[in-house]
Amino acid sequence: DKYLSGLSRSKKTFGDRLRALSNNFHGIDDELLEEIMILMLESDVGIHTAQKLVDQFEKEGKNIKNYDSMEDYLISILYDFYDPESDPQIRYNEDGPTVILMVGVNGAGKTTTSAKLIEYYKEQGKSVAVAAADTFRAGAIDQIATWAQRLDVPCIKGKQGQDPSSVLVDACRYAKENDIDILIADTAGRLQNKTNLMKELSKMNRVCEKEIPGAPQEVWLVLDATTGQNGISQAKEFLEATNVTGIILTKMDGTAKGGVVMAIRDLLHLPVRFLGLGEKPADLRPFDLNAYLIGITK
Ligand code: GDP
């Protein structure tokens, strides 16, 4: 299936090696734990999270007797560690448009992911519009407007340099007047000036709420999985600047660093909502922990 094949590159290091460990399994000993540790570090789980996981592996490892349960054991430790049941559902507005703010640094894949979300929600039969609220990066407005045209959804845009909040106000009003279910707002990805970013994001939040009570329902931070642990530091800066509600991990098709999912969970305490598996609008999958774990262990 596409989900698994998209993850195939990350599976080669993490999954195949986990399997090799399973094949040679002869009990939980220091050697095995060390191999698990190296494996985690190489797939960019990060030292902090890797250590916690290895402790868990050691603690629970006493019940392991054969190869089959070795795999189950790995999956169950990772599953319990992630604990998907503790995640809130995505908040959808029952009484009007749901506004989703997209944030993240330039190059992470924010605009492409916005296009993917347009496609995703259209497929679900929702009416979708997009706000080109990245008025800072040259070309950003055209880029999202082109996607909107191709995917046949309205794009509310301003001019480069315009206050992004005023674009958002227009977009929210448009969404209300035209029975739009999902409004995706592509915002600017500036991190260099954190005070500005904070001010800009809080203003965007404020104007959305004023137009549509409860909006934005979701604020999704787009992270490039290939940046591994650097992505985590970026994320922390955004978390300080605004109320991020979920993570979208892009470029999972081109990385051996899939373990970053575990680090995100451990260090940012946020749900991973979607994975990006390519450059096309269809290359987006809702994050499914079971599929992900099977992908990395099979
Ligand atoms: P933005 O600056 O954050 O809006 O980033 P863009 O959406 O322009 O994406 C930057 C580059 O990453 C583009 O070349 C995209 O095609 C590419 N990209 C985005 N998401 C993915 C993904 O999931 N997989 C791959 N392979 N490339 C991606």
CB 167 within 8 A of CB 135: yes
Atom 12 of ligand 1: nearest residue by CA position: 109
What pLDDT tens digit does each residue of the chain (298 aa) get? 445 454 554 445 566 666 677 776 777 788 888 888 888 888 788 899 999 999 988 888 776 665 466 777 778 888 999 999 999 999 999 999 999 999 998 899 999 999 999 999 999 999 999 999 988 888 889 999 999 999 999 999 988 889 999 999 999 999 999 999 999 999 987 766 778 888 889 999 999 999 999 999 999 999 998 887 888 888 898 898 889 999 999 998 876 666 888 999 999 999 999 999 999 999 999 999 888 877 655 4
Counting ligand 1 atoms within 8 A of each CB, the residue from 112, 116, 191, 287 with the most, and so the one to mutate, is 112
Which atom of ligand 1 is closest in space to residue 250's alpha carbon?
Answer: 23
- CA of 251 relative to ligand 1 center, distance in Å: 7
Rounded-to-integer distance, Cα 186 and Cα 60, Å: 44
Give the residue whose CA is nearest to atom 19 of ligand 1. Answer: 109
Task: Tell me the CA–centroid distance for residue 113 and ligand 1, in Å.
Answer: 7
pTM for this predicted structure: 0.90
ipTM over the 0.95 cut-off: yes
**Ligand 1 centroid distance, CA of 107 (Å):** 6
